[in-house]
Structure 1
Amino acid sequence: MSDGSRKVLVVEDEALVAMLVEDALLDAGFGVMGPAATVEEAMALLDQERPDAVVLDLNLAGETSTPVADELASRGIPYVIATGYGASGLPAGHQHAMVLAKPYDPQELTSMLGRICRQAV
């Protein structure tokens, strides 16, 4: 597992889902940034600190998080897109992203994040 030095930014507008994700990450030894419930909050957190990876919900209370995905891609920060729309709903330019279909198993999420954090080293 991790020693907690791997920080994951959680971008999720549903408080219950965000809490479940946060718990799963902490249990797996990750540090947690956020959660951010809006694009504005996510961008502000990214300006403060660079995460090792990001869990990104595509739909934030009706607002698309594509600007966040664009920023992550431009900075080379790995991310997992959590969406109920599946891979077909990915924004242009992000078809290569790892997708986790909602509802997902927290174990699947932490396993996926562990892989992308190792790849980013």
Structure 2
Amino acid sequence: MEHWRAEAALGRRVLVVEDEPLIALALEEMLAEHGYRVVASAQTVAVALRHVAETQFDVALLDLRIGAESVEPVADRLDAMGAAFVFATGYGRSALPPAHSARPIVEKPFRTEALIAALAAAARHAAQKA
């Protein structure tokens, strides 16, 4: 078994913040194939903030730009909670908000191995801090 597959913990709950419905659906299928379950999906920052407050999840995957909005308020809230999260973007690391520049990033288009490894690493890091 490849190392990145072993990283995926069965039952891992994911909050996906992605404004493109087809990408969100593809992510849900990709994650399910590797033992993750999308428990909530948000296409706006407001909905994402509501899910952060009301939904139980282990790790969040945040598209850097949600329409015309920055996902930074969601990242700030997750950081304040000590929650695990990963940025997903086609803009590269230089586009990350300065306060979150050390956070894991997955470049679009997604490579399954990189996505699973980043989610697992973020969840492990958050668990160690808890």
TM-score normalised over the length of structure 2? 0.85
RMSD: 1.3
Question: What pairs up with 1:25-40 in 2 under 5 angstroms?
Answer: 25-40=31-46
**Which secondary structure does the structure 2 equivalent of 1:69 belong to?**
helix
Amino acid at match of 2:105: V
Task: Provide the rounded CA distance (Å) in 1 between the counterparts of 2:21 and 2:113.
Answer: 19
Contact 2:85-2:123 at 8 Å conserved across structures: no
- After the TM superposition, which parts of structure 1 deviate over 6 Å for at least 4 consecutive aligned residues? none
Q: Aligned residue for 2:112?
A: 106
Q: Aligned residue for 1:20?
A: 26
Q: Aligned residue for 1:92?
A: 98
Task: Provide the rounded CA distance (Å) in 2 between the counterparts of 1:81 and 1:65.
Answer: 9
Question: What pairs up with 1:1-121 in 2 under 5 angstroms?
Answer: 1-4=8-11, 6-121=12-127
Number of corresponding residues: 120
Contact 1:24-1:107 at 8 Å conserved across structures: no
Q: CA deviation at 1:33?
A: 2.2
Compare the two structures and name the one with the higher helix fraction: 2
**Which secondary structure does the structure 2 equivalent of 1:93 belong to?**
helix
Amino acid at match of 1:69: A
Give percent identity, aligned residues only: 38
TM-score normalised over the length of structure 1? 0.91
* Unaligned runs of at least 5 residues, structure 1: none
Q: CA deviation at 1:104?
A: 1.7
Contact 2:61-2:85 at 8 Å conserved across structures: yes
